[in-house]
Amino acid sequence: MTTSREKLLALMDAALKAADPGVQIPLNMPSPPKGKTIVIGAGKASANMARAFEQAWKGDLEGLVVTRYGHAVPCEKIEIVEASHPVPDAAGEEAAKRILEIVKSAGPDDLVVCMISGGGSALLALPGPGLTLDDKQSINKALLRSGATISEMNCVRKHLSAIKGGRLAKVAAPARMVTYLVSDVPGDDPAIIASGPTVADPTTGQDALDIIRHYQIDIPEAAEALLRSAADETVKPDDRCFDGHETIMLSRPQDSLEAAATVARDMGLNPVILGDAIEGESREVAIMHAGIAHQVSNHGQPAAKPCVLLSGGETTVTVRSKGGRGGRNSEFLLSLLIQLRDQPGFSAIAIDTDGIDGSEDNAGAIMDGTSWKKAQELGIDLREYLANNDAYSAFARIDDLIITGPTLTNVNDFRAILIE
């Protein structure tokens, strides 16, 4: 008999398989150029994307792709380098400089292929005029602790960058450019994924300033001056540098949810996709999910048992305590566990599809009726762990962490709540 945990893990595996960009790239190859082919990119899935492209491409190519530490894969002709995420480092700054230099050499007969996935914003760490890497690091840390959404964070990041917000495309012109995308953002907006280095940006420096003020983040005078400078705006949709550019979306959060739903039906479950773009404070989103789970259990709505609630998107965590460990998915599941406790018939999983929940070594966590009981037997106050943003430690103590290692893709959060 298949256990609830086995079912949840099977749903997770289906979601991850559907998010693999390596499957889609060979089906979406560009036409060869008269000149040279240059492959560049940044993101947690981008090395995997580069390898798939290299294996499918029939001609010569060259290039450089930067990925997160631990996410590299071997390529023969494309150089793969690693850098820090989510807080940028000198390796990411150097990689961004080198990528700009590489595309500067491209001419009108050349093809520039760009591999962009989640994480690319931190990995392309090239500060704008007047800023230092230290400035970028401090602002990025403040954004990560603030509870800002990914679209808000990337709005600020691109306006403080010398490569994001369409600037990479501007430098590469007049070469033909094809951008492959793996979406990790709610709504799948190419301008938000990795802060859109090769696509037009409709936001303004004033938008970024408004976000900074809303979250009461202190920034250096040079950063404020840059955000106020019209001459340093991001590249807008009417710029001719985008003429002839092509963007190809390889994987989306919705694809993973639909794949999990198909597997759920094969298991005899009624799948309900709540949404692929859910945002909000992780612990509060969990309370909402618990309410829907109870509605299924008590009233058979919006679907009858056995049912699985599926959702994606990117929740946020407002850090309230120093020293806590755990990302948004672990925090979501800890809050959900506190709501569902040991009530029979409920189990759940929540992971980041890149295999890294925040900055820890786990993808997320899993829970069922035994989780609450284990915590009680060990004398663990789960509410205290939640108050301290320490979900990782809580699930480690009850042996409910999910550790996959780098998955080489990234379509954001995957959550499944099983009601039987």
Whether 331 maps to a domain, the answer reads yes
Q: Give, to the nearest 10 degrees, the angle between helix 205-214 and helix 150-159.
A: 130
What integer pLDDT is reported at residue 91 of this predicted model?
Answer: 98
Assess whether 247 and 98 both reside in one domain. yes
The β-bridge partners of 220 are: none
Q: What is the pTM of this model?
A: 0.93
Query: How many residues appear in the chain?
Result: 420
State which of 209, 226, 251 marks the end of a domain.
Answer: 251
Neighbours of 378 (CB within 10 A): 9
The CATH number covering residue 401 comes to 3.40.1480.10
Assess whether 356 and 232 both reside in one domain. no
Return the biggest CA–CA distance within the chain: 69
State which of 195, 217, 251 marks the end of a domain.
Answer: 251
DSSP assignment of 87-116 equals S--HHHHHHHHHHHHHHHT--TT-EEEEEE
Paired sense of beta strands 346-352 and 364-367, if any:
antiparallel
Assess whether 274 and 229 both reside in one domain. no
The CATH number covering residue 120 comes to 3.40.50.10180
CA-based end-to-end distance of the chain: 14
Distance of alpha carbon 209 from alpha carbon 222, whole angstroms: 13
Range of the domain at 124: 31-251
The β-bridge partners of 181 are: 116, 249
- With left for phi above 0 and alpha for psi between -120 and 50, is residue 206 left, alpha or beta? alpha
Kindly calculate the radius of gyration of the chain based on its CA atoms and give it in whole angstroms.
Answer: 22
Tens of pLDDT, residue by residue over 334-393, are 999 999 999 999 999 999 999 999 889 999 999 998 999 999 999 999 999 999 999 999
The β-bridge partners of 414 are: 312, 351
Neighbours of 384 (CB within 10 A): 10
Q: What is the mean pLDDT of the chain?
A: 96
- H-helix or E-strand spanning residue 250: strand 246-251
Q: How far from the centroid of its chain's Cα atoms is residue 368's Cα?
A: 26
Is residue 72's pLDDT more than 60?
A: yes
Assess whether 187 and 228 both reside in one domain. yes
What integer pLDDT is reported at residue 324 of this predicted model?
Answer: 84
Assess whether 99 and 223 both reside in one domain. yes
Assess whether 270 and 226 both reside in one domain. no
Whether 25 maps to a domain, the answer reads no
Tens of pLDDT, residue by residue over 80-98, are 999 999 999 999 999 999 9
Give me the residue label for tokens 């390529």: 75
Tens of pLDDT, residue by residue over 264-276, are 999 999 999 999 9
Assess whether 225 and 281 both reside in one domain. no
Whether 90 maps to a domain, the answer reads yes
Q: Is 43 exposed, middle or buried (0-12, 13-18, 19+ CB in 10 A)?
A: buried
Whether 65 contacts 115, CB under 8 Å? yes
State which of 228, 251, 274 marks the end of a domain.
Answer: 251
Number of domains making up the chain: 2
Assess whether 320 and 392 both reside in one domain. yes
